[in-house]
Amino acid sequence: KKMKIKKTKFKGLFIVKQKLNIDKRGYLRETHNDKIIKKKFNFEYFTFSKFNVLRGFHFQIKHSQSKYVNVLKGKILDCVVDLRYKSKTFGKTFKIILSEKNSLGLFIPRGFAHAYYSLGKENLVYYKLDNFYKPKFERGIIWNDKELNINWPSKKPYLSKKDKQMPELKYFFKNKKHLNFK
């Protein structure tokens, strides 16, 4: 089987069905191929999250980042919000289950806020990004914003202090200049 791209209704957002080779020893999973994902990545990291951890929604305004998200262990509900105010899907959300078992990756273009909820006991999420992390330009949206209407698996996820204090999406609707991604 070859690695395959599946488009979504969001311009530039796509799902990657990865190549998986399984035998008695275990498996080998091809997560990235320059011929398939024609994107230059220059920054990588991974997160480890326990069950019921929710991270996000995060994005960078200046030095914005495309993200390629993969789950190496466990299972997450990955969710993005289109913040490109000239986009047909502005303010809309997209959700997908990414897991070690389904071998799916999600490519998120610049201009999206990203969050995920940890469904597995141990969740190892691996990111490839096309821009460096610049905390000064990081912004976010509150995870349970009523405007987004996301049915998260838990009403009381474990959040960072920072994520508990994020503004609502309407703040960015009123201040579109804050969504000037560069």
Residues annotated as part of the active site: 58, 127
- Positive or negative CA dihedral for 142, 68, 66, 14? negative
In angstroms, the CA 18 to CA 10 distance is 20
In angstroms, the CA 100 to CA 95 distance is 17
- Positive or negative CA dihedral for 140, 158, 127, 135? positive
In angstroms, the CA 24 to CA 32 distance is 23
In 3D space, the residue among 54, 86, 66 whose CA is nearest the CA of residue 151 turns out to be 54
Q: Determine which helix (DSSP H) or strand (DSSP E) holds 162, and give its type and residue range.
A: helix 161-164
